[in-house]
């Protein structure tokens, strides 16, 4: 069955205002692959000064000439002669200002994907320009090639690239001028982890989809043979069975249904190695799950829990995938706490958590409110699967007291997980490096029975 093409890269859509509530999709931004809009060309004044090379030549010339005068040795004047000639040459007029325009070749990237910043200078005359990128957090510059400055963003979020330093040299490299320009912000989306398999529930809502259900219908999967009744389609007659039984027999097929999947990404714990924190893993896993389920036309919703709760109701299609990615981006900026306090999942409306939805929780289970929320969801009858993304321990010294504290902490974590398993909630660990198919394999090989 051909899957609905879900692009690997999201389209940037302006997120809604920060805070609790549904994310506003907003107007569509520039499509990925198309060049981003160029930053406005700005004219910047230049303050020229002597270059270090010129200062050294002046030192050579003055010292040589001074010694020549004092010692009356003409060879020292000869030593100073090349420097004097280079310094005394008539210099062409240098520009008072240049126009700098920067443009990102991509409006958005995914983690560790290379992008380029294109810099265009105008009005520099015959001066030579050197470009130097001063990156901000999580931006890694690479070797520049001409006016293109490649870079990578290592963590998802709305990242400021930093500043661009332009150093201008005159033709003789004796005068120099510096200009600094602020660079635009780029959207970096989480890199989806590999995932090919999916969990399918035993009870599916009566909506056309791609998962074979228990009830008979117009799907593709053969379920059995029954006797023909008037009104049945003749092309489904099973002729070998008809010949054996002497009466018309008909092939029956399973109905194909869709399912609602709600992904809860707990990005509240940004601890551990930057780039591999539980928050990073939760967002990458959520992106992978969203892509995998949307590819089979399931309806996927997303709840991101960070400093607050933001959600997008289940939907389907490629555009919806971009909406989900933008929701992650809006909360992954890590620019500071939101003004509102954290809301509870139980306050989510019915549209965000449709009854009977499969709930996938990517969480390190460090926040008690999240644990209580998962318990509450299970008690309300939702089939819940927890993907444990805890991959860090509290830092501490290697003395006995720290070791004891760490042991107690581990036991607490084990107790939390044990209590959730006792409630019948499947819990798998995922380290963020391997595919999600491995940990989820016990639940993807057969349909998951949903109890109410």
Partner 1 sequence: MTARSAMAARSMMRGRSAMAARSMMRGRSAMAAGLLAAACVAWSALPLAGGGPGIVILAVASACALLSVLRLALGAAPAPAADFVNPAISGLRTLASLARSLPSAEVMVAAVLVLEALHRSRPWQTGLLGAAVLAYLFATHLAESGARASVLRPQVSLIAAGLGLLVLAVGAAMLPAGTGSPAVLLAVLAAMAAVVVGGLILPV
| Binding interface with partner 1 (CB under 8 A) | 48-50, 52-53, 55-69, 71-89, 91, 113-114, 128, 130, 142-145, 150, 169, 171-173, 175
Q: Are strands 157-160 and 185-189 parallel, antiparallel or unpaired?
A: antiparallel
Instruction: Give 175 or 420: the residue with its C-beta nearer to partner 1.
Output: 175
Least distance between partner 1 and beta carbon 88 (Å): 6
Instruction: Give 146 or 230: the residue with its C-beta nearer to partner 1.
Output: 146
Instruction: Give 119 or 371: the residue with its C-beta nearer to partner 1.
Output: 119
Least distance between partner 1 and beta carbon 63 (Å): 5
Closest CA to 360 of 303, 433, 317, 315: 303
End-to-end CA distance of the chain: 31
- 338/357 Cα distance (integer angstroms): 29
Instruction: Give 56 or 380: the residue with its C-beta nearer to partner 1.
Output: 56
- 89/211 Cα distance (integer angstroms): 81
Least distance between partner 1 and beta carbon 302 (Å): 26
- Cα–chain-centroid distance for residue 265? 13
Least distance between partner 1 and beta carbon 145 (Å): 6
CA angle, residues 390, 396, 400, in degrees to nearest 5: 115
- Spatial CB neighbours of 191, under 8 Å, sequence gap ≥ 6: 110, 111, 112, 113, 156, 284, 287
Least distance between partner 1 and beta carbon 125 (Å): 14
- Spatial CB neighbours of 378, under 8 Å, sequence gap ≥ 6: 384, 423, 424, 425
What single DSSP character describes residue 190?
A: P
Instruction: Give 15 or 272: the residue with its C-beta nearer to partner 1.
Output: 272
Least distance between partner 1 and beta carbon 103 (Å): 17
Instruction: Give 68 or 225: the residue with its C-beta nearer to partner 1.
Output: 68
- 278/102 Cα distance (integer angstroms): 35
Q: Are strands 97-104 and 114-122 parallel, antiparallel or unpaired?
A: antiparallel
Instruction: Give 127 or 300: the residue with its C-beta nearer to partner 1.
Output: 127
Least distance between partner 1 and beta carbon 31 (Å): 15
């Amino acid at each position: 069955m051909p899957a609905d093409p879900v692009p690997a890269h999201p389209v940037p859509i302006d997120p809604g205002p920060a805070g609790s509530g549904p994310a506003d999709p907003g107007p569509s931004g520039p499509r990925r692959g198309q060049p981003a809009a160029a930053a406005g060309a700005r004219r910047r004044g230049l303050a020229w000064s002597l270059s270090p090379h010129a200062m050294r030549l002046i030192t050579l010339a003055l010292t040589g000439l001074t010694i020549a005068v004092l010692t009356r040795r003409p060879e020292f004047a000869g030593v100073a002669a090349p420097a004097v000639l280079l310094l005394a040459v008539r210099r062409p007029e240098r520009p008072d200002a240049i126009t700098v325009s920067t443009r990102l070749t991509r409006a958005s990237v995914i983690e560790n994907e290379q992008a380029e910043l294109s810099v265009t200078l105008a009005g520099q005359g015959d001066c030579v320009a050197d470009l130097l990128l001063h990156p901000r957090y999580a931006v890694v510059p690479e070797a520049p090639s001409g006016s293109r400055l490649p870079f990578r963003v290592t963590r998802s979020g709305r990242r400021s690239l930093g500043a661009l330093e332009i150093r201008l040299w005159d033709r003789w490299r004796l005068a120099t001028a510096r200009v600094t320009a602020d660079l635009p912000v780029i959207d970096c989306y989480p890199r989806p982890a590999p995932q090919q398999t999916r969990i399918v529930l035993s009870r599916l809502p009566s909506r056309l989809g791609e998962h074979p259900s228990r009830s008979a219908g117009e799907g593709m999967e053969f379920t059995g043979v029954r006797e023909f009744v008037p009104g049945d389609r003749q092309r489904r007659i099973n002729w070998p069975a008809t010949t054996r039984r002497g009466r018309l027999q008909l092939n029956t097929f399973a109905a194909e249904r869709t399912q609602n999947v709600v992904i809860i990404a707990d990005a509240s714990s940004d601890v551990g190695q930057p780039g591999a924190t539980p928050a990073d893993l939760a967002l990458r896993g959520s992106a992978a799950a969203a892509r995998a389920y949307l590819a089979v036309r399931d309806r996927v919703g997303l709840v991101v829990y960070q400093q607050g709760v933001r959600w997008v109701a289940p939907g389907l299609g490629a555009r919806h995938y971009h909406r989900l990615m933008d929701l992650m981006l809006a909360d992954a900026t890590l620019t500071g706490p939101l003004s509102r306090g954290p809301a509870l999942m139980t306050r989510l409306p019915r549209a965000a958590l449709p009854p009977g939805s499969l709930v996938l929780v990517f969480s390190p289970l460090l926040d008690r409110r999240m644990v209580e929320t998962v318990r509450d969801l299970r008690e309300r009858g939702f089939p819940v699967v927890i993907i444990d993304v805890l991959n860090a321990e509290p830092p501490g010294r290697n003395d006995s007291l720290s070791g004891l504290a760490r042991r107690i902490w581990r036991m607490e974590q084990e107790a939390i997980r044990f209590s959730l398993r006792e409630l019948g909630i499947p819990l798998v660990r995922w380290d963020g490096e391997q595919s999600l198919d491995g940990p989820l394999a016990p639940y993807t090989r057969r349909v998951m029975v949903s109890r109410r």
